[in-house]
Chain A
């Protein structure tokens, strides 16, 4: 067929315009206003102020991300590993259905569930008390850092496990069989044969989870206790209470930087997959 590159470009233009006007431009705008003052001069004032006021929250966000991502990695590898290697087909099919339950549950719904579930008088503590594991007076509220991590892991685990077990399912079964015939146990097959081959998928899952954790506003607002809180909540506060775009965007710049190293990996992965014609 004859190709008219101009026509192809024309077909893509509307979608491109949308993404450039309503994402790339505001992104540039945010980077620009993080490092310039009102007169457009380069300044580090906003960044300095951010570190001065919010260094505790920056550290808090970083720890939440690292802890959540580590738990997501551990649990998704365990679940996907069980699905791939477990000999009990019935357990595997229940597990496969179970882990996917939270996949499409919105963050805000998850946040509302956890707000009541993890509270001092929530269903979790009540169950512990009813089963005799805890005395009513010993219960503590899990709202706070542990609740935030719990919510993020609860919600993101489904997605991460889906990607990881997808990668595991695509592996060549004969390798696993060969290792088994040579006498390797399941944990060893998982650690030495399966995991090294699915690392790129795990990486993508963890990066997307990091981006989600750094973007979600509802969870820290609804589960957090106020101080320290996550950068997302600080940015919203800076805008809504002070209209202070300089500091808010400087915080944005910091949260980009936290994800940037990871996002770079993600984009490179995307390039490897999507860069070639399908």
Chain B
């Protein structure tokens, strides 16, 4: 047990008791173990992207090189095609999500709605149920409409998954818009649409953009829904990664994984400022 009373004494930096120093080294050791566990798998992935051959009992790749990078980025490779498919699907998903969730978010945040709580809950559903069992039935229903293996089908599945983020974040964004500004605009003679476009929407824009990034990433990374609804006609990057990995082609799989990793890590660094735990505790309020 640590003697914590000494900690509140202002002079603690001058004479650290022995047990406090132990706890410093203990915490540092924990940090080191955590760092190894978190970075180990990432380093392993990076090694595989530049390993031309790597087999037992060698602890590191036998031959290094970028042979597989050329293979992945050659103009007619599967990877470039699926990268473009993935980005296209993600952009369409963002577009559809924004189109439906801006009006919905505005109505849910600003206007009195019957059954508001129930409606908000409906958008949480896809995150509250194991969605694989739903996706396989979506695929069965889509089959009747010829939507299986089409971009439209995949975009619809990704949209439903992304709606939770776009609707909830958009509601939060519109809730933070100052209502007196809207009222002032109306009193000065602006119509409801003009007020919305020039007063409410610009103020909610940061939140809406944040939700777009979430939806984009979710769509880019989505595997299960695409697996059931899109495959084999539609190959997104996650599906390509899966196929390559199951065929034992770890270099291609790792390079694909790295491509998927870049937007995720970039996003994490960008939102790091906004994703402070203290901020997150406000979402949904």
Is the C-beta of A50 less than 8 angstroms from some C-beta in chain B?
no
Is the C-beta of B205 less than 8 angstroms from some C-beta in chain A?
no
Is the C-beta of A273 less than 8 angstroms from some C-beta in chain B?
yes
The 10 closest A-B pairs by CB, nearest first: A252-B133, A166-B277, A106-B221, A278-B175, A275-B117, A113-B41, A214-B130, A11-B107, A104-B264, A15-B104
Give the residue of A115, A121, A274 whose beta carbon is less than 8 angstroms from that of B57.
A121
B27 touches A91 (CB 8 A): yes
Most B Cβ at <10 Å: residue of A12, A259, A267 = A12
Is the C-beta of B168 less than 8 angstroms from some C-beta in chain A?
yes
How many of chain B's residues have a CB under 8 angstroms from any CB in A? 114
Is the C-beta of A229 less than 8 angstroms from some C-beta in chain B?
no
Binds B, one of A37-45, A52-60, A176-184: A176-184
Is the C-beta of A22 less than 8 angstroms from some C-beta in chain B?
yes
Is the C-beta of A101 less than 8 angstroms from some C-beta in chain B?
yes
B31 touches A98 (CB 8 A): yes
Chain B contact residues, majority secondary structure: helix
User: Which chain A positions have C-beta within 8 A of B167?
Assistant: 15
A43 to B129, CA, bound (A): 23
A166 to B282, CA, bound (A): 9
Tell me the chain A residues, 80-100 only, with Cβ under 8 Å from chain B. Answer: 82, 86-88, 91, 94-95, 97-100
Please name 7 pairs of A and B residues whose Cβ atoms are closer than 8 Å in the assembled complex, sorted by A: A19-B163, A97-B272, A108-B257, A162-B275, A181-B5, A267-B121, A278-B171
Is the C-beta of B37 less than 8 angstroms from some C-beta in chain A?
yes
B1 touches A185 (CB 8 A): yes
Is the C-beta of A172 less than 8 angstroms from some C-beta in chain B?
no
Chain A contact residues, majority secondary structure: helix
B224 touches A166 (CB 8 A): no
Is the C-beta of A126 less than 8 angstroms from some C-beta in chain B?
yes
User: Which chain A positions have C-beta within 8 A of B12?
Assistant: 87
Give the residue of A3, A216, A276 whose beta carbon is less than 8 angstroms from that of B224.
A216
A14 touches B121 (CB 8 A): no
A215 touches B277 (CB 8 A): no
- B190 CB, min distance to chain A CBs, angstroms: 13
A121 to B51, CA, bound (A): 14
Is the C-beta of B188 less than 8 angstroms from some C-beta in chain A?
no
User: Which chain A positions have C-beta within 8 A of B241?
Assistant: 108-109, 112
User: Which chain B positions have C-beta within 8 A of A14?
Assistant: 99-100, 103-104
